[in-house]
Amino acid sequence: MAIAKVLVGYHVGVQCPRGSTLGGYSGKVRRTQCRPGGRIVAMSVQKTNKLQQAEKLLHEFRQSSATPLALLHQVANDLVHEMNAGLAVEGGSDQLKMLPTYVQNLPSGKEKGLFYAVDLGGTNFRVLRVLLGGKSGQILSQEFKEVAIPRELMVGTGKDLFDFIAGTLAAFVDTEDESLKLHFGKVRESGFAFSFPVRQTSVKSGIVIHWTKGFKVEDAVGKDIVKQLQDALGRSGHQIVISALVNDTVGTLAGGRYNFEEETMVGCIIGTGTNACYVERADAVQKWEDPLPKSGEMVINMEWGNFRSHLLPRTFADEEVDRESVNPGCQWFEKMISGMYLGEIVRHVLVRLAEEASLFGASVPVKLYERRTLGTPAVSKMHADTSTDLQVVAKVLRQVYGVETTTLEERKIVHKVCDILGERGGRLAAAGLYGILKKIGRTGTAMNGATDRKKTVIAMDGGLFEHHGTYRAYMEETLQELMGSGAAYEVALRLQNDGSGIGAALLAASHSQFS
């Protein structure tokens, strides 16, 4: 009867043939392999051992991914150190570019007219049409179209990539209402939000430094990105002028300045990839050789995806993802917190659990070994599963990897993997933002217990932040932990929908060549 007690709680019935026994127990046995002659192997005991091994591996992974508050403060300090080095001299940091932008006029709310934007931010790009109302400070109307970039164009030639983008924008312009065509004539102005490292040489020109997020268009590196798009637009036969080159985070910051009443000081993207920009004191940019802006401020594009620190809690899965990427050894921070890599990291952990703990049965599902089969949207769905039996997890495993049958215990383990990595990503992203706030003096304790705290807004954009609710919650909660209960500043993360694209259109308006 002792073995029978072990089996309580399992629910796959196996009928023992006559003559089989289980310590005097006969008949219906749960998860049991029956053998004639009294020799019985209790599959439930095997299953228990496998689950114990899986839990052991999971515990080790959780420990190696841990982000205690003290470590996050140290990570933020490391980031500030690299920020200062990157501002001091060109190439002062081998991690952060700390690129000064040439945006001199953030939106004021008085911009008026019809403007377009191209938002190249990852595996998808958008074209937008925005009608601004002038003194009313309102966006009267906005339309957009989102298009997936074929994989071959992400690693092909610059001409092919920009002909595809220009053709999409030209076709979108052709869908204008006739009343707009009559009122605004033939020439159109567009902003260009470009979310890859670029060294700007003016508000509408910049040299591509290198590609990230799975792109590798080698012949475009070292060339003016605006000229490449402008040439392609010329080949399309349309009169479209690029008035502003904008990093996607700068566009998000501009959108925040236009839309939010409180002071927006930081723009941040967490989507396919990640980056941040912020408003710095102009005199802190020691490497700037031109006359300082009259405003006394300068927007700095950090390119923070390449931040790395020995304190970042990297695991075997991070090492594998890095090794298999198009840029091994680069973009550590991006690979740990952004959407392009989250699904792959989860997949590598599941492979180890399947190999070393038989998580999905005696054999590893063949498709589990295939790269990029588990997308971050699927991980987000599993992480958000709050049902008692985790049926969303079961559905994803069935649809993606053909795992037809799973126990609740197995689904819980998969869910925990998603949670560990979602928590790690959100907390590390919060540490990065805290580092920026610390650099510009927006942290610290309120004097004499003052309760009237100033508010700082961080304008956010990106699909991972917008759609992965649990990730976002971890990020927001951790930022408040880092700020502390007696903080002098109240910090809010505000979603700036279509931030980079709308911001690019706004900056095209504020830098218009014809207005």
Residues annotated as part of the active site: 126, 195, 248
Q: Are strands 489-495 and 454-461 parallel, antiparallel or unpaired?
A: parallel
Block residue for tokens 């009122």: 183
Which SS3 state, helix, strand or coil, does residue 139 take? strand
- Residue ranges of E strands in 297-436: 297-301
Calpha distance 413→217 (Å, rounded): 39
CA 380 from centroid of its chain's CA atoms: 12
Q: 222-230: long-range contacts (C-beta < 8 A, 24 or more apart)?
A: 223/158, 225/192, 225/194, 225/198, 226/192, 228/158, 228/159, 228/162, 229/118, 229/162, 229/165, 229/166, 229/192
In the numeric block, which tokens belong to residue 55? 């839990």
In the numeric block, which tokens belong to residue 10? 């399992």
- Type and span of the H or E element at 242: strand 240-246
Specify whether the CB–CB gap between 346 and 432 falls below 8 A.
Answer: no
* Residue 326 vs residues 15, 215, 323: alpha-carbon distances, Å: 53, 8, 8
Calpha distance 156→160 (Å, rounded): 7
Helices (H) and strands (E) in the chain, counts: 17, 15
Alpha helix stretches (DSSP H) within 222-327: 225-236, 248-259, 316-324
Specify whether the CB–CB gap between 374 and 344 falls below 8 A.
Answer: yes
Beta bridge partners of 298: 280
Specify whether the CB–CB gap between 438 and 483 falls below 8 A.
Answer: no
* Residue 449 vs residues 437, 452, 453: alpha-carbon distances, Å: 20, 9, 10
**Nearest in space to 335 (alpha carbons), one of 350, 321, 324, 346:** 321
